[in-house]
């Protein structure tokens, strides 16, 4: 079977999987999600992904009886059924299917959807050249640390970035504070020091971000978690993004302006190599 879905206890192909039109995820965006991947069939960083998932569930006060072990077992079965070397796993949990009301429904079971597809990584040529990104006003809500399925600002910013020939959008506050990309966290390198915005309600605490921060500390790469501005980013020696679907990806152009020489830099390449040794 090429791709696998699991909906509330039932495995099927993705094409055959259905949820109710009354699902609150569809009606109201009332749900959260998580994204993880496999390397050679093995789930990567499953514990931190599960911790973030349960944190998201708590943050939106979604009542449930899920356990990390139970969810992991279903994910593993779905991954095994799909049988890809490198799988992309999406897990969505919504507040269930019910008559449309804004307040929480009573005694309605949550909807659990898991999909497993073959992971499409950025092609080697893209990684070697680096990518362009485009700044976008950060019009998102005040809880970007929750991995909610309400992604309309990310959708619009990503579309505008793609239409402008860019790989990703970069969310920036009105005062020039850089937050993160639409699907990844952001890092700069200036005078040999790596910097990334600190954890806050304005960014998602990326699992890859945490891994890269830890790798930098472990390998003696100077690393700061602090406010980063767009001006600083444009003047940086290197810029890169991190995420489950991009690993450590060099950014060589921002708003049509090349970063330094417009080529992937040595610190980015070193961190990507260290990340691959850890994950692969
Ligand atoms: N996105 N920031 C945002 C807004 C994200 O959506 C993601 C991940 C990240 C990076 O997090 P991680 O390192 O845990 O993948 C940061 C996933 C891949 C997605 O929505 O498809």
pLDDT in tens, 224-252: 999 999 999 999 999 999 999 999 999 99
Give 49 Cα–ligand 1 centroid separation in angstroms: 11
SS3 76: helix
Which pLDDT belongs to residue 280?
A: 83
Check pocket membership of 92 for ligand 1, CB cut-off 6 A. no
Mean pLDDT for 257-266 is 98
- Per-residue pLDDT tens digits for 65-110: 999 999 999 999 999 999 999 999 999 999 999 999 999 999 999 9
Q: Percent of the chain scored above 90 by pLDDT?
A: 99
Mean pLDDT for 153-166 is 98
Mutate which of 155, 183, 197, 212 for ligand 1 pocket (most atoms within 8 A of beta carbon): 183
In the predicted model, what is the mean pLDDT of the chain? 97
Cα 173 to Cα 50, 140, 203, 230: the distances in Å are 30, 10, 12, 9
Instruction: Measure the CA angle with vertex 23, ends 19 and 27; round to 5°.
Output: 125
- Tell me which H or E stretch contains 157: helix 152-163
- What's the gap between Cα 22 and its chain centre? 27
Cβ-in-10-Å burial (0-12, 13-18, 19+) of 211 comes to buried
Q: If we measure between CA atoms, which residue out of 168, 166, 189 comes closest to residue 239?
A: 189
Mean pLDDT for 247-263 is 97
Q: How confident is the model at residue 1 (pLDDT cuts 50, 70, 90)?
A: low
Give 206 Cα–ligand 1 centroid separation in angstroms: 6
Of 99, 129, 147, 263, which residue is the catalytic one?
147
Total residues found in the chain within this entry: 280
Please name the residue ranges forming H helices in 33-145: 46-59, 68-82, 124-129
**Ligand 1 atom 17: the closest Cα is on which residue?**
183
- Work out the number of other CB atoms within 10 angstroms of the CB of residue 262: 12
Tokens 């898991």 belong to 114
Check pocket membership of 87 for ligand 1, CB cut-off 6 A. no
- Active site (annotated) includes residue 147: yes
Mutate which of 204, 249, 279 for ligand 1 pocket (most atoms within 8 A of beta carbon): 204
Which pLDDT belongs to residue 54?
A: 98
Q: Which atom of ligand 1 is nearest to the CA of 171?
A: 4
- The structure's pTM equals 0.97
**Ligand 1 atom 3: the closest Cα is on which residue?**
183
SS3 258: strand
């Amino acid at each position: 079977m090429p791709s696998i879905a699991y909906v509330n206890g039932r495995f099927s192909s993705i094409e055959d999987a259905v949820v109710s039109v009354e699902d609150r995820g569809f009606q109201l965006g009332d749900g959260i999600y998580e994204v993880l991947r496999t390397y050679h069939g093995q789930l990567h960083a499953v514990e931190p992904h599960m911790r973030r998932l349960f944190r998201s569930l708590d943050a939106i006060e979604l009542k449930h009886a899920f356990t990390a072990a139970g969810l992991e077992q279903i994910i593993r079965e779905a991954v095994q059924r799909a049988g890809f070397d490198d799988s992309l796993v999406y897990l969505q949990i919504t507040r269930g299917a019910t008559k449309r009301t804004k307040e929480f429904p009573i005694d309605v079971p949550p909807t659990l959807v898991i999909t497993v597809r073959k992971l499409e990584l950025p092609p080697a040529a893209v990684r070697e050249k680096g990518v362009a990104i485009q700044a976008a006003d950060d019009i998102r809500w005040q809880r970007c640390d929750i991995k909610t399925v309400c992604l309309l600002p990310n959708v619009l910013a990503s579309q505008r970035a793609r239409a402008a020939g860019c790989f990703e959008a970069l969310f920036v506050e009105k005062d020039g504070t850089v937050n993160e990309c639409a699907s990844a966290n952001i890092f700069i390198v200036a005078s040999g020091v790596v910097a990334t915005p600190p954890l806050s309600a304005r960014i998602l605490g990326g699992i890859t971000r945490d891994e890269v921060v830890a790798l930098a500390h472990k390998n003696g790469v100077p690393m700061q978690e602090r406010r980063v501005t767009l001006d600083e980013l444009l003047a940086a020696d290197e810029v890169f993004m991190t995420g489950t679907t991009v690993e450590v990806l060099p950014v060589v152009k921002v708003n049509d302006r090349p970063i330094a020489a417009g080529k992937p830099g040595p610190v980015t390449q070193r961190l990507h190599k260290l990340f691959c040794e850890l994950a692969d």
